[in-house]
Every structure is written in structure tokens, then in C-alpha cells.
Structure 1
Amino acid sequence: MAKIYHHERRLERDLQHLKQRKVLYRLLSTVGLCVTILIVWQYQLLVLILVAVAIVGLYLISQCSLSKQLGKVTAGLAGEDKALEVLRNLPATYSIFPDIQIVVDGRTSQLDTIVVGPTGIFVVEVKNHAGVITGHTNEQQLLQIKHDGYKKTIYNPVKQVATHTYRLHRYLYQHGVDFWIQGTVYFANGAAKVDVANHSSTPIFSVNENGSKRLLYYIEERQSRTLAKSEQRTVEKLIKHIVKKQASN
């Protein structure tokens, strides 16, 4: 099995912060409402009644907003976990680095997963969207149609991973390493149907279309570009440096 370099991921931190905020808002709203009710009980002031109503309203709005954010973060984490479960089935000669943030030339990229092995370097962009995903890879946006008929646009993950691979290449190049990096997209949600016309060199895999096995096969069998063991160690060392820097921030 492949080696996964676990560390606290950004989404895990975001999830913890959102949970803390939700509890804090609940506490502050409860205290504020109790104090206001006590004062209203004593003085029967209309303005304080309005204040109490406002507190309740703000509390409900904040909780609704936080619940939506929690849902998105939780879904994102679930997608990354599904992808890791698939990628860990690569041979022991591969190393997997989840959730890597790279800052190059003053610009930041958040890479879902980097895979380094004898067949090269891969960046896997993971999506956990449900419903039907349609469009063309040469467009900026794809269309997501959920099962209830709700439609929304999402940023094209092929263009997203292209930016990530470029920045990772720039980072490695600035440290004396110049290797090809292959971007891929993996839709991890079993409730998704991907119908995207792919006119790019970036493959798209969907768990619903035997994508897990196809992704592993693509990584293991890509022999057009290979890394020697020494080259692989050099790349892994540079990425580990990023992980260490992330942990200290």
C-alpha cells in the first residue's frame, strides 16, 4: 500500500473553527436573550422586546449560515477521504500527500492530493458533487444539476487542476527540479453522473464509471515519464518541507 503523509488538513481546521463559532454564537445569543428578557420582565419596554426579537433573528441567521458552511466543509472532507481510500491501494513505491498549500510568486494554490511515484508526479483534484455534471473542459464553468432539479455552476476542475500543476511545477523548478506534473480530476461522489466533454490532456474519473480502478491504473501504467528513486526522494523531500511549514503556521 502507498505511504500517506497525514497531517492536519485545512478542511479539518475549518471544520473545527466552524463548530467552535457555532457554539460561541449560541452561547452569546442565549446570554444576550436571557439578559434582555430579564430586563423586559422588570421594565416592560417595547424597545427591549424588539431587541430580544432581533437577537433571536440574528441567532437563526447565523446558525443557518454556519450550518451551510459546515455542510460544504464536511462534504469536502468526505470527498478527500474517499480519494485517499482509493489512492492508498497504489503500491508501496508511491507516496501520497493530501491537502498541500503552495505559495509561488505571491499566489496560493490548495492542492487536494499529490501523488509521487516511479511513474511520475500527479495532482488529483477531488470533487464530491452530487447530481449531473455537464459541460466542456474548455469552458470556465460546468453545470451541476442536482436530483431535486436545482441548477448551479461550478468552476471547471480541469482548469483548477491546471493552475495547481503549474504552481507545483514552479515551486519544484525554483528548487532545482524540473519534472512533468500530470493533473487529474476525480469525482468521488457515488451520486454524481459526469457528462463532460473532455478536450484536454487532463483525464476525468468518476467513481460511478469504475473511476477508482481507472484512476489507479492510469497512475501505475503511465510509463511515458518516469522518476528514478533518487529523483522521487528529492521531490518527496521538497513536498515534506511544505507540509512541515504548514504545520508550523
Structure 2
Amino acid sequence: MTYGSAYTVYENFVIGRQLMMAEIVKGEQNHLESDLDDWRRRRRYAWFFIAVGALLFLIGPMATRPMYSLLGMLTIAVAAMVLKRVRTEMNVLGAGLAGEEAAILAFSELPSGYTVYSNLVVEWDGKSSQIDHVIVAPHGVFVVETKNIVGTIVGQTEESDWIQYKTTASGHTYEKRVYSPLKQVGTHVYRLAERLKEEGVRVWVQGIVYFSNPDVHLDVDGDSRMPMFLVSQGGAEKLLDYVENYEGKELSKDERRRIDRVLRESMFDPD
């Protein structure tokens, strides 16, 4: 087989593979990317003030102005604390972005006829929901909240606040209160369902929580209509199986057209 014919076979394989996969529709900008840009800007400011502080510290002795050196040291100290906070926030946001990208890659394995919308802001009744993913299947609509958190998560399904326990590299364990992703996705489901009703689409919207980080453990008691999947327990495959085998109402072409319009409008950035 010649190089040209081999490339043609490969190209046809790729095209065929794409035709068998779900359609992926991304919003203009992920809210995490926007937040990350803000923290990058703060990092630049922090380094600028560190440079200014160093300059003041060096000028002090030369100008026989000890206060300059003192002010420079103070500026460096404050800027260094800000920089430490910036690095922490950027690591968290970066991990969140990586988790969402991994989720999109997994969702793309859904067959043709499925559409995955990512990075939406759905508005209803004067309030808005930032939604990670909406999967529209031939037989239903699914809102997926992706979490890339680590540690042990303890809570009750009916409670609004859960506790996250994390252990540092030095062995120190600390806890942090986090908002229940079940409550979060429940709010998203409600607002999207109400927004679709405004367009004449009355369809059940099913919520799902997907933990995309392998270093998370759940210790959550209680029953919930919204399933939770962990990537460390084959969550990606189980989530896709859940969506594909979900027993919902078949959507008409008109309903899918209206749903598509609402979701694409929710990706538009008015700014």
C-alpha cells in the first residue's frame, strides 16, 4: 500500500469515527477560563509590586532613606502573600479545567444522535446558572455537573453543605465546607427545565454529578434521584451507559430544534 492510499484509508477512518461520535458544542468561554485570566492578571500585579519593593529596598541605603528599605520589605512581603494565594487559586482552577476537558472527551464517546453542550449560562426568573455540560439524547436531556475535587467528601444527600477532608504532602489533614453538588445540579436542572417550558418544551431534565478526579472518595449517605459517578470506579463508562439506557420520552425533531436554540443562546456571551 502506498503512502497516499494509506493516508486516505486513515482519513476515511477518522471521518467515519467522527460520524459515529456525539456532536460537541462548546460555549464561547468557560467561566473557569475567565476566572483563570483574572488570577493571571493578579499574578502580574503581584510580580510588579515585588519588583517595586526590591527597587525601594535597594534605593534606601543609596539615598540614605532607611524608610525606603522598610517600605520595600513591606511591599515584598504583602506581594509575596498575594502571590501565594494566586498560585493556589490558579492550581484549583487549572484542575477544574482539566476535569471538564476530560469529561468532554469521555462524553464524545456517545454515539451519533447525541449532542453535548458545554459552558452554558442559563437564565430564568432573573437568576442564572453556570452549567458545565448538557447532554441532549434522542430520549432525554441531562445536566452534568463535573467536579474535579480531591480528598474525602462526607455528607448527606439532603444536606446543602458537605465536608471535604484533604491531606497535605506533610501529612496534615484539614477540612473545608463545600456546597453539595447534588443541590447545585438540582438548581441547574430546575432553571433549565423552566427555561425550556418558556419555549414550549415540556421535558424531564435529569441531573448527574460526575467526579472526574481519581483521587476523590465519597462517603455520602442517603438516596437521590440524581446519580453520582466517580472516574476512579469506572464512572465515565457508567455515566455513558446510564445516559444511553435511560428510559425517557423520545424527543421530536421540533423539540430538539427548540432545545438546541435555547442551549446555543445560553452560550452567547453578551459582553
TM-score normalised according to structure 1 size: 0.92
CA distance in 1, matches of 2:49, 2:256: 52
Q: 1:57 aligns with which of 74, 77, 80?
A: 77
The code of the aligned residue for 1:69 comes to E
Q: 1:14 aligns with which of 7, 31, 35?
A: 35
CA distance in 2, matches of 1:31, 1:56: 8
The code of the aligned residue for 1:117 comes to A
Counterpart mapping for 1:56-205 below 5 A: 56-147=76-167, 148=171, 149-205=173-229
Match for residue 238 of structure 2? 214
The code of the aligned residue for 1:17 comes to D
Contact kept in structure 2, 1:145 and 1:152, CA below 8 Å: yes
Q: CA RMSD in A?
A: 1.7
Structure 1 residues 29 and 137: alpha-carbon distance in aligned structure 2, compared to 1, 3 A threshold: same
- Residue 30 of structure 1 pairs with residue 51 of structure 2: yes
Shift of 1:195: 2.4
The code of the aligned residue for 2:48 comes to L
CA distance in 2, matches of 1:91, 1:198: 33
Contact kept in structure 2, 1:117 and 1:232, CA below 8 Å: no
State the secondary structure of the residue aligned to 1:179. coil
User: Taking every aligned residue pair, what percent have the same amino acid on both sides?
Assistant: 33
Contact kept in structure 1, 2:49 and 2:76, CA below 8 Å: no
State the secondary structure of the residue aligned to 1:240. helix
CA distance in 1, matches of 2:159, 2:222: 10
State the secondary structure of the residue aligned to 1:113. strand
Shift of 1:32: 4.7
Shift of 1:38: 5.0
Contact kept in structure 1, 2:134 and 2:144, CA below 8 Å: yes
State the secondary structure of the residue aligned to 1:176. coil
CA distance in 1, matches of 2:82, 2:114: 44
CA distance in 1, matches of 2:193, 2:262: 12
Q: Which moved more, 1:41-50 or 1:199-208?
A: 41-50
Match for residue 47 of structure 1? 67
Shift of 1:44: 2.1
Shift of 1:198: 3.7
Shift of 1:11: 1.0
CA distance in 1, matches of 2:119, 2:221: 27
**Runs of 4+ residues deviating >6 angstroms:** none
Structure 1 residues 174 and 230: alpha-carbon distance in aligned structure 2, compared to 1, 3 A threshold: closer
Shift of 1:26: 0.8
State the secondary structure of the residue aligned to 1:231. helix
Contact kept in structure 1, 2:57 and 2:70, CA below 8 Å: no
Q: Which moved more, 1:133-142 or 1:37-46?
A: 37-46
Aligned residues: 246
Structure 2 gaps of 5+ residues are 1-20
Shift of 1:10: 1.3
TM-score normalised according to structure 2 size: 0.85
State the secondary structure of the residue aligned to 1:150. strand
